[in-house]
Structure 1
């Protein structure tokens, strides 16, 4: 059996549900000016339903209030629009031909459900989103939150671990990671945990370090996650394999890419190339 290193994301990958995103949006709403609260709520609903210019897979320029369509593989800007959807072709020259620099502050990759309420709040003038993010993280390990464990996941990971190293690589900080793993009954499963990973900025660098650490070619590394920009595109560009977990349609086709709606679909599949 060929040895592989499996590199898992945490949020949106090892548990399911979206109630925490709505909780985050509600907390942010409290800081939205009164005259914009209704617009914020409607925009957020439209985003979740795929009926807004802002959607998963795009990027958002906080400073200029511009929504950027990104080439999913090169991470270059290919279209720029206003919040309302008006095309701004002159902005493309500003972003240039290089991959966008996602800094989590001025230009953010809308790779998963966390960034929809963030972008909406920033558009409507909220200055501090991080405080409410921390409140949401605390809520997620409280008795009030029902963390949706994935049936069969722990057994699957333990079986996988018998032959392959398992790595957890997440943007969450160490304290949140340990609390969530405890809640999910996944404590002790992973051979290596990388917290505060600063994906996608450092994704390629971290993959290269793991390749060196485990002394395996990129072809024997597998990235598993729900954020195409953070975890999937960088892996494919290095000729790694990737399992993309998302209910959102995605047009990218690649020989090394497996796209599933939920991780349980991958667990129960017979796609031996990814296991």
Structure 2
């Protein structure tokens, strides 16, 4: 496994769920939004979110949530073709209806079609289903970010990660590509004691919509061929599939058993298993 990293000239890391694996802030985010729905719906709101986390709901990490149709959409991440659609309550759409509604490649737009790539999006999808406005979710998101800088919130540092990255930095280019805002990225890196580790930070990357464009720009800036670079992340839609399509190698951080195979793909339960 480690020879994939050893042979690379450029490593492109994700941040959330990759350099740290804490999830308590997702629950905090959801609780804030739960308070904004009518009291008689709050229990159902939380139970829906919990079932998403457990993987027993149609909307789970790895799917796409269609706000307009209130559906869970299964997409082949390598072709971007829709293969299955399920209503929020679990009713599968007939193939004819799927082909009519979702013809061609699916384009994530952050407005209607939301790639559920990590824990941030499960509370969001829950909120959209229960009728909250995007302004509500944004206010709660910002409040969660504020909470994450207080003494009440503590990030768990991955044992040995800093030393491993420092060792890799001596021979390779290390890049961070994340959807998070720059101020949040710098704060999180400081708290994780990883500030100064990366040769470049690419923030607000709009993954997965612009992942391929961002990766192409990074390869060009560092003058590296695709096969000499590795994308490392916990989000198959955001970081892994686009990298494989460009010819990069990829390390997918996934603690659960998953049926995905590709000659340039390596699956590990945690980042420490890769480094």
TM-score, normalisation: structure 1: 0.93
**Preserved CA contact (<8 Å) 1:3 1:163:** no
Which among 103, 114, 117 is matched to residue 96 of structure 1? 103
CA distance in 2, matches of 1:246, 1:8: 15
Q: How does 1:13-24 map to 2 (within 5 A)?
A: 13-24=18-29
Residues 142-184 of structure 1 deviation map (CA, whole Å, 9 limit, x = unaligned): 1101101111111000110111000000000011011111111
**Preserved CA contact (<8 Å) 1:241 1:257:** yes
Residues matched between the structures, number: 266
CA distance in 2, matches of 1:54, 1:64: 13
Query: In structure 2, what is the equivalent of residue 132 of structure 1?
Result: 140
Q: How does 1:1-275 map to 2 (within 5 A)?
A: 2=7, 4-89=9-94, 90-98=97-105, 100-127=106-133, 128-267=136-275
The offset of 1:44, in angstroms, is 1.1
**Preserved CA contact (<8 Å) 2:8 2:230:** no
Structure 2 gap ranges (5+): 1-5
- RMSD of the alignment, in Å? 1.3
Structure 1 gap ranges (5+): 268-275
Residues 74-97 of structure 1 deviation map (CA, whole Å, 9 limit, x = unaligned): 222111111011112314322112
Query: In structure 1, what is the equivalent of residue 3 of structure 2?
Result: none
The offset of 1:224, in angstroms, is 0.6
The offset of 1:247, in angstroms, is 2.2
The offset of 1:210, in angstroms, is 1.4
TM-score, normalisation: structure 2: 0.93
Deviant stretches of 4+, over 4 Å: none
CA distance in 1, matches of 2:11, 2:120: 24
The offset of 1:2, in angstroms, is 4.7
Residues 201-233 of structure 1 deviation map (CA, whole Å, 9 limit, x = unaligned): 110001111121122210011101111100000
